[in-house]
Amino acid sequence: MDSQPGRSVTSKVLALLAAFSPASPALTLTELARRAGLPLPTAHRRAAELVAWGALERGEDGRYRIGLRLWEVGSLAPRGLGLRELALPVLEDLYEVTHENVQLAVRQDLELVFIERIAGRHAVPVLTRVGGRFALHATGVGLVLLAYAPTEVQERVLAAPLERYTDLTITDPRQLRRCLAEVRRVGYAVSDRQVTMDALSVAAPIRAADGVVAAISLVVAHDRADPLALAPLVQAAGRVLSRALGAPNRPAPGRVPLPPRHGTQ
C-alpha cells in the first residue's frame, strides 16, 4: 500500500508524468521520485504500472521517458486535433509565401499551448515546440489570446508577476493593459524582441462562432522584419480559418496600422 495520506493514486501517477520536461525528457527512478515528491518504493510501483500500460518507456540506460501510448492518447484531444488538421493547409500556404516560422496556439487557463508549427529552414530559431507551453504576455500569439480572453483571465494575468525574458518584455501591468487594448483595436499583435533579442512575431486571432479560439503567427528575424507587410498576411490566414470555423464574416481592414514598437513573438 502507498503510505502518503491525502494523496490519491491518481495524483501520484500525474505527479510522475508531470516530472518530465523539455529540459529533462529522461529521468532515473531516483530523479523521478524526487521530482514527483514520492517515496522511492511508491515511485517504483507506479512507474512500473505506467511502463506496462505504455505511458512510460524505460531505456537500456535505466532512465524513464514518456511513452508513445501517452502521445497517442494526447493526440485525440479535440481542441488541438480538429483545429490542427483544419489549419495545416493554411499554415503551409503561409509558410510557402514567407518561408518563415509559422505557429498555431490555443489558450489553456493562464498559458498558451502550441498545437502546430512549421519551422523555416533558414528562419530565425524559436523556443517553441508542439505541445509546449508559454506565458501569454510575451509572445505574439499569447498577446492575441490574452487580448480576447475573458476579463477574469486578463485580470489574473495582470495581477500575477510578469516574467521578463528580455529587456523589452512587457512586465508593467499598465503597459500590458494598453498593449492588449491596441491588439483589439488593430486586430493583430506585434511582439518585438520580447522573448529573444533576435526575433519579432506578428500574430492574429482565429475566431469561431463564440469568439476567439486560437491565434496564428509568423516569427521572423528582427533585423529583416516588416510588421506592416506581415500583418495583412497573418490576418488573412486568420480570417480563412475563422470562416472555416463558422465565425461571422468581418470586413477586411484597409491599411493596417502599426502598433507601438515596444508592443508585442
Domain 9-73 in CATH 1.20.1250.20? The answer is no
Fold of 78-244: Beta-Lactamase (3.30.450)
Domain parsing of the chain, residue ranges: 9-73, 78-244
Burial of 146 (0-12, 13-18, 19+ CB in 10 A): buried
Residues 6 or more apart in contact with residue 22 via CB below 8 angstroms: 129, 132
The SS3 assignment for 212 reads strand
Q: Which CA distances in Å does 197 have to 53, 131, 148, 190, 265?
A: 43, 23, 26, 14, 10
User: Dihedral of CA 144/145/151/153: which sign?
Assistant: negative
Q: Render each residue's pLDDT in the chain as its tens digit; 265 residues.
A: 455 556 788 888 999 998 988 778 899 999 999 999 999 999 999 999 999 999 999 988 999 998 888 877 766 665 555 788 888 899 999 999 998 999 999 998 899 989 888 887 777 767 677 778 899 999 999 999 999 999 999 999 999 999 999 999 999 999 999 999 999 999 999 999 998 898 999 999 999 888 999 999 999 998 887 888 899 999 999 999 999 888 877 654 433 333 343 344 5
Q: List the strands of the sheet with 211-221, edge to edge.
A: 133-135, 111-118, 101-108, 211-221, 199-208, 189-192
The whole-number pLDDT of residue 108 equals 87
